[in-house]
Amino acid sequence: MAILTRRMVAVTLADRMYAALLLGLPLGLAALLHVIPGDDGFTRPVSGLTAEASQLIVVLVIGGVFVGFAGGIRELVRERAIYRRERAVGLAPGAYLGSKLSVFAVVTAIQAALFVLVGLAGRPGAREALVLPWPLLELVVVVWMTALTATVLGLLVSAYVSTGEQTMPVLVGLVMAQLVLCGGLFPVVDRVGVEQLSWFAPARWGYAAAAATVDLRPLLAQPPQEALWRHTVGAWWWAMGVLVVQCVVLTAAARWALRRAEPGR
């Protein structure tokens, strides 16, 4: 796996345009955060309650989802011919997928840090963290885990599509679904069917973890009865734990999907 990881890093760095896009994408998304009006950030507004904090979290989480999908959704389909050739001479599928995840874990961590730090620069932060030393660091970890889970989902899609062109409609559909189901645009709790469907959306749990970190409910004029947003250690760990479980399950599904690219199939 180490050899495959070094090769992927070398290939990524050799394509300077692609490497620049990997860094430019989170910076571009960070600029969108500065478009959101308001100067209260994640603190309680002095005059009336606004949706600023909720809007910031929506852009952070959906931005993380988009970064993840964009990185993984074309990765396997574009290397299918190479994978089949190398699989025929003994390449281990687990090592191949593991090398992808290792590189993407580091890349999405850098992207999440750039996105959150640049995007929230100049805005007041949350009062206190729940698990990590600083609320800003907690938000970086939340966005990173959300982006990594989306990356693995993108790899799963990439293993099933036939061409790279087929990934674009899927990408748009997945991002829109995450936006609707995250719980930031409108409440999804106590809505039969919608709430249950949202359980499978990484954005739902990323939004819940971020809302728990910043203690979102007191900042909203009409907060929904959303237990996942409680400013407690248990709520934060529950949301992050679901993201981890989703990432593991999606990784196993992607490993199974690689069987479609086995020589002779």
pLDDT digits (tens, 9 = 90+) for 212-226: 999 888 888 777 788
| Residue 14: per-residue pLDDT | 79
Cα three-residue angle 210-65-154, rounded to 5 degrees = 140
Neighbours of 106 (CB within 10 A): 12
Q: Stretch 63-84: mean pLDDT, rounded? A: 89
User: Which string of DSSP letters, residue by residue, matches 44-85?
Assistant: --SSS--SHHHHHHHHHHHHHHHHHHHHHTTTTGGGHHHHHH
| Residue 81: per-residue pLDDT | 84
Identity of the residue numbered 40: D
Q: What is the pLDDT of residues 94-126, one digit of tens each?
A: 888 999 999 999 999 999 999 999 999 988 888
User: What percentage of residues in the chain have a pLDDT greater than 70?
Assistant: 96
Q: Stretch 202-217: mean pLDDT, rounded? A: 94
Task: Give the burial string for 39-74 (b: 16+ CB within 10 Å, else e).
Answer: ebbbbeeeeeeeebbbbbbbbbbbbbbbbbbbbbbb
Q: What is the pLDDT of residues 17-58, one digit of tens each?
A: 878 888 899 999 999 999 988 888 888 776 666 678 899 999
Q: Stretch 131-142: mean pLDDT, rounded? A: 95
101: Cβ contacts below 8 Å, ≥ 6 apart: 151, 152, 155, 251
Q: Stretch 160-167: mean pLDDT, rounded? A: 86
pLDDT band at 185 (very low <50, low <70, confident <90, very high): confident
Q: Which residue has the tokens 């990590």?
A: 132
| Residue 71: per-residue pLDDT | 87
**Confidence (pTM):** 0.92
| Residue 226: per-residue pLDDT | 84
265: pLDDT strictly greater than 60:
no
Which two three-digit tokens encode residue 24?
Answer: 């430019």
User: What's the full length of the chain, in residues?
Assistant: 265
User: What percentage of residues in the chain have a pLDDT greater than 90?
Assistant: 52
Residue of 263 and 193 predicted with greater confidence: 193
Determine contact, residues 126/28, Cβ cutoff 8 Å. no
Determine contact, residues 207/112, Cβ cutoff 8 Å. no
Mean pLDDT of the chain: 89
263: pLDDT strictly greater than 70:
no
Which two three-digit tokens encode residue 30?
Answer: 């960070």
| Residue 47: per-residue pLDDT | 63
Which two three-digit tokens encode residue 19?
Answer: 């490497």
pLDDT band at 165 (very low <50, low <70, confident <90, very high): confident
88: pLDDT strictly greater than 60:
yes
Identify which of 219, 220, 240 has the alpha carbon closest to the alpha carbon of residue 228.
Answer: 240
- State how far the Cα of 63 lies from the Cα of 121, in Å rounded to an integer: 16
Taking the CA atoms of residue 208, residue 151, residue 139 and residue 231 in that order, the dihedral angle to the nearest 10 degrees is 20
Identify which of 256, 251, 265, 217 has the alpha carbon closest to the alpha carbon of residue 49.
Answer: 217
